Amino acid sequence: MDKTLKIYIALLVLLIAAIVVIDSNRPKPIDWTPTFSLKDKIPYGMYVFDQEISSLLKGQKIRKFNTTPYEYFDSKYDYDSLVNDYRIKGTFLSISRMVDFDKESVTEICTFVNHGNNAFISSEMMPNALLDSLNLKMDSDYNYSDSIYNWVANKKLGNQKYKITEGVNNNYFSKIDTLNTTVLGYQNGDSTRVNFIKVNYKTGVFYLHTQPVAFTNFHLLKGNHHEYAEKVLSYIPEGEVFWCIQNQTGEVISDSPMRYILSQPALKWAWYIFLIGMLVFIFFNAKRKQRVVPIIRPLANTTVDFTKTIGNLYYMEGDHNNIIDKKIIYFLEKVRNEYLIETHRLDDDFIKKPLDQIKTDIPKIAAPAQRALYSLGITTLIELSKFKESEIAKLHGMGSNALTKLSTALENANLTYTNAQ
């Protein structure tokens, strides 16, 4: 490891350590997200309400369920023709920013209330199916007020108005069924609006409230705002309370294998700096560490060019005899060097002598046929077996007698022509 790389690594480690120290000592910013989660201690979480619900609803047994109202209450219904009723009695409780009950759950809640039970729902917006069933309508003030006073209508609970400035909404009940509905509370921004009602539904009662932010950590701990939450909840009749906490447990599970590292600010920044450091490391170490090795090209083969040049010269001079003589001289020199044959006398002995000097196991056949074989480089029976019989038969001077001798020799050597295998 060279000195430069060590310096880079040391600087990277110091940078990561500095960021971790600074981040750990930096005050964590407040998260104002309205999660309404029971595990969140942020302003708009419901951790305090979850811890204090037993004191807010004194003497009442609280049962939480993390399924849809339809799944929970349907499992508690006795379908026996002699019973045809729920095995439980009490009040359904739901507090969230936006209730997202499906149609089946709304129907099941109405059925539960119809059997002499109650339902308390606090949400900025109510399901349309529920509003239609109760003959209600909701609206919102477009002239949004940044502070709203909330109070209950029952004078026995006091005339105190509670000013809420954080997380408020301007939703209210714009239409109610006066025959079955009792106004329990108001809110006052630019004008007085109904935000808390009691609706008689057959043999049961609905309690609907539009300011769920009153039950969050911030307002339960701010001044006397907890009194308003106590007054609203005081309308819930005594008995068991079935609290729906679906999607409010705070259990959001990520599929990423890096979920824990990315959920911690210090580890997340350390991870990002590590990636940046790796890119820097790769960038600096991708450089060449030695001098450029020169590419030595092999010498070009100029034999063809030389031959063409010499040939053009002889062609232009028209001296054909001279070049023929040189070709004869070169040929004879090749014969002397490679075959060690004397070339001073070019007669019949010169023609027969090379054939006699070649070592071969091919049987004696006519000289023209033998020369034809040698011209193809066939000097042994093994080389002969690589050819087809039809190819050998086409050679100059190859008669039936020569073919018979060759076939017999191959058979004696346990060999055959290619086409015979």
Domain boundaries, the chain: 47-244, 303-357, 359-421
Give the C-alpha separation, 79 to 365, whole Å: 112
The kind and range of the H/E element at 409 are helix 400-412
pLDDT score for 350: 67
pLDDT tens digits, 232-244: 999 999 999 999 9
Q: Please state the pTM of the whole predicted model.
A: 0.58
* Beta carbons of 384 and 365 less than 8 angstroms apart: no
* Cα distance between residue 233 and residue 109, in whole Å: 19
Least confident of 39-48, 192-201, 205-214, 366-375: 366-375
d(CA 354, CA 357) in angstroms, rounded, equals: 5
Distance of CA 219 to the CA centre of its chain: 41
The pLDDT assigned to 419 comes to 67
Quickly count: other Cβ atoms within 10 Å of residue 413's Cβ: 14
* pLDDT tens, position by position, 257-306: 777 787 778 888 888 888 888 888 887 777 767 777 888 888 888 888 88
Band of pLDDT at residue 191, cut at 50, 70 and 90: low
Average pLDDT over residues 92-109: 94
Q: Which of 91, 100, 79, 161 is nearest to 120 (CA)?
A: 91
Task: Give the pLDDT score at 355.
Answer: 57
H helix intervals, 26-92: 47-56, 69-75
Q: Which fold has domain 359-421?
A: DNA polymerase; domain 1 (1.10.150)
Over 90: is that where the pLDDT of 146 sits?
A: no
Could you give the count of Cα atoms lying within 13 Å of 387 in the half-sphere of its Cβ? 20
What's the CATH fold of domain 47-244? Rossmann fold (3.40.50)
